[in-house]
Structures are given as C-alpha cells and as structure tokens.
Amino acid sequence: MPADATGATSGLASMAAGPTPGPDGPTFAGPFPWHPTPKAACYAALVALGLVAALVTGRPDAAVLAVPFAVALGIGFFMTRPLGLSASVVAGSSSAVEGDEVPVLVSIRSTSHIPSLEVLVSPAEAFSLPGHLARRPSAHVVAADEPLELSLPVIAKRWGNFEVGGVAFRARSWLGMFEAGATVQAEGRVEVYPRPEALRRLVRSRSATLPAGSHLSPAKGGGLDLAGVRAYAPGDRAKDVNWRASARHGGLYTNERHPERGSDVVLVVDTFDQAVLPRAVTAACSLADAYLSQRDRLALLELGGALRWLRPGMGARQRYLIVKSLLQTEALASAVYRGVALLPPRLLPAAALVIGISSLEHDGAREAFTNMRARGLDVVVVEIPSPAFPAGALGQLGVVAYQIWKLQLEARREKLRAAGVATVPWEPGTPLAQAVEEVDAWARRQARSVS
C-alpha cells in the first residue's frame, strides 16, 4: 500500500477500535483529535514574544501589538468543536480494463460543521490519479448531520486483482488554527483485465472439424461461400443451378460451395519468464476474444512450475474462465517440470491449432512446442522477446555477451522452424496484429511447401 498523504496521518492512531457496518461498506468513525497547525504555532510565538518584550522594556506597546494574534487564537480555539466524523470508502466497480477509470465512492458525515475538509485519494501501486487530480486534494464544506457523497476516479495501470488504496482526510477549523486527519482504506478489490488489441486477421487452422463456425472448410458442400462451378449431376438441388453459366455453355451447371466450419484452438502461455508475463497475458486475452467471437472452441494451457489447463469450450462462459485463469497467472520455475506428456487427451484434439505465447528462453517451453508438433498438431508461436540488458554499460565484454545471446536466440528459433513450428517475434511497440499476420503467412508458406 502506498504511503499516507502528507499531514493526514496524525489522527490514525486515534480512530475507533475498528470498522462498523455502514450502508455502503465499513464505516470508520472518530473522534479525530485536533492538532495545532503551523499557523497557530506562529501566532502563539508572536503573542509570547510581545508579552516578553513588554515585560523587558516596561512599555505596553509590544503587548498591544500581540493582542490581535491572541484574539485570533482564542476565537479559533473556542470555535473548534469535536468532529464526530465518519467516513465510508468503497471501490465503485469490481472490474475494469487497463486504462479505464475506477470510481472510489466516499460517503462523509459529521456531527459538527466543518468549514474545510480536504480529501485526497492515495491509490495503490497498480492505480494512478488522473492528470488533473495528481496529488492535489479537493476542499469541501461539510454541514452538520448532512452526508457528503463524492466519487473520486483512479486509473487502472496494469492487469491483476488489486485493492484500490485509501482516501486521506484533513479537516481544518475556523481561521485554520487546528487540523485533524486520518486515512481510510477502501473496501473491496478490483479485477483489472488486459486491454485487448485489435486483430484484423487470425492464424487459420488447416483442419476444420466442428459442424458450424466462421472458417471455410477446404472441402466442398453445403454453405454460403462459392467454391466453383461444375456440370450438373443427378441429385443436385435446383436452387444450386447456375443459370448464367448454363446459358453460356449450353448445358446445366451447378454451384459448389464451401461449408462453414469451426476449429479447435489451444492457447499455450509460457509463464516461466516473469519479465515478459504482462505482455504474454495481454496477447493471450486478445487472441481468446478474437477466436471465441468466431465460434471456435478454445482451450488454455499454462506452462510453468505446474501445468494448468482449461478444457475446450465456447461462448462467453469460456471467455470468462480463460480471463479469470490468466489473471491468476504467476511466474513459477520448477526443477521437476515433466512437459506435456501428462495432459488429458481431450485437451489437445487431433486437428487442433496450437498457438504458443513464449519468450523461448526456457528449455521446457521449447520442448513442449516440439512435442506438440511431433503429435501432428499445427503449432505456431508468437515470441515475446525478453527485455535487452544495457550491453554498453558493461563495456566490450557486455557487447560480446549480448551478441552471443542474440545468436543463441536465433538458433532456438531456427530449431523450432526446422521442426515445423512457425515462430515470429512480437517486438515492443509493434501491434499484435502485425505479428499474428506474419505468423499466419509463415504457416501458409510452410503448408504450401509441404503439399
């Protein structure tokens, strides 16, 4: 949790023994003790200085000059009443997307009039304040026994499941002589989902197996997309006759069509590398949205310290399960990694398209992709390169080490490509759609060369 806002922690130790249930969440109640402000200390010092000067010089002029400051201190003291402040802070939404605003709902009630109450959101590490609110508290007037409702926005910076943070309160008395403050942590957690990237084209499977979907089957049959024209054969439907071609060639000709089929897609996310895990989850969520929107069956496999998987499924429920699983992904290394040999057979159907998302740094991930290809599956990999270290800072030795690392990485790619695994890097700053189109083109060229 981030540090409390400046000047808002003095009353934290004096809060009530714990939260009491409120209408919008746990309510934290005072009393919050008042503390002198620097202004009050300055006024008191001036009054004391005037009295001492009058006593030393024996003239009342200095004491007369200190009277206005003493009057201001007295008025500020006698006008200050116990706060009786209660505050309820809750997260206004349980889910959000990266970059979206999440409202923090604040409900404040006081038994006495507060002429100036400053409110400042202290967000957690995964959230930030909008530019116009950055570290600037908002001032409000709280009337006695009248609730004050506020909605303060914070911006979700990265995916995951987080607490929002806290809200700091600081009340000032009349003439600004005294202040009281505390910080209240917001109730509730927010699930932040990765923001999906727009994909114009997806990697296509060479085998379509399901009875319905959005992909064109290479076979010919009943469908909507025209595949060609052939001579009429007994048993053809009359509505399939192409009358223009028949009139042009002097005989009956029938339209042939491609049936629409779906495909089985398995997303394989390499969780061994912590450095690339945020981009890997973002890519997986974008691909899951795109394939499920085309009525494909989608499965998820996470390679890491322990194998985690979701069986193939379709629709909104499968999308929810996949995103939920990805948000819980952690980078876990393991010395007892056993590959994909123990996976249930239904997870990897015979005609499935396997899309790997990996940095290719771990031997277990590369071995898994090779084994899947050896089973006869179509395997493509979107490579997320690991962040390059500053080779120049290490001198000539660092430059040589960096070049060796680049050569080793290229050798790994070529080894996978030689095994029939299409591999394309997704460089930082490049749209995911570009990497997906490149890997699809590579897979199509490989399919033509094999055929």
Least confident of 30-39, 111-120, 306-315: 30-39
Residue 337 predicted with pLDDT over 70: no
| pLDDT (0 to 100) of residue 449 | 60
pLDDT of residue 304: 77
Q: Which domains does the chain have, with CATH numbers?
A: 12-34+80-193 (2.60.40.10), 38-78 (no CATH), 220-258 (no CATH), 263-450 (3.40.50)
CA distances from residue 444 to 82, 378, 439, 451 in whole angstroms, order as listed: 76, 11, 9, 11
Residue whose structure tokens are 């910080």: 183
Instruction: Evaluate if residue 77 carries a pLDDT over 80.
Output: no
Binning pLDDT at 50, 70 and 90, where does residue 446 land? low
The predicted model gives 200-205 an average pLDDT of 70
Candidate from 257-261, 354-358, 375-379 with smallest mean pLDDT: 257-261
Which positions ≥6 away from 414 have C-beta within 8 Å?
A: none
Longest dimension (CA), the chain: 131
Q: What percent of the chain has pLDDT over 70?
A: 78
* Cα angle: 398, vertex 401, 404; to 5 degrees: 155
Single pTM value for the model: 0.62
Does residue 340 carry a pLDDT above 70? Answer: no
| Percentage of the chain lying above the pLDDT 90 cut | 1
Average pLDDT over residues 382-395: 73
Per-residue pLDDT at 423 exceeds 70: yes
Confidence at residue 240, expressed as pLDDT on a 0 to 100 scale: 80
Grade residue 39 by pLDDT with cuts at 50, 70 and 90.
confident
Say if residues 91 and 184 touch (Cβ distance below 8 Å): no
What's the pLDDT at 357?
Answer: 92
DSSP string, 197-254: PP-S--PPPS---EEEEEEEPSS-BSSSEEEEEEE--TT--GGGB-HHHHHHHTS-EE
Which residues touch 244 (CB under 8 Å, ≥6 apart)? Answer: none
d(CA 219, CA 208): 9
DSSP state letter for 345: G
Give the chain's mean pLDDT. Answer: 76
- 391, pLDDT greater than 80: no
Average pLDDT for 173-188:
80
Contact 261, 296 (CB under 8 A): no
Identity (one letter) of the amino acid at 142? V
Higher pLDDT, 201 or 294: 294
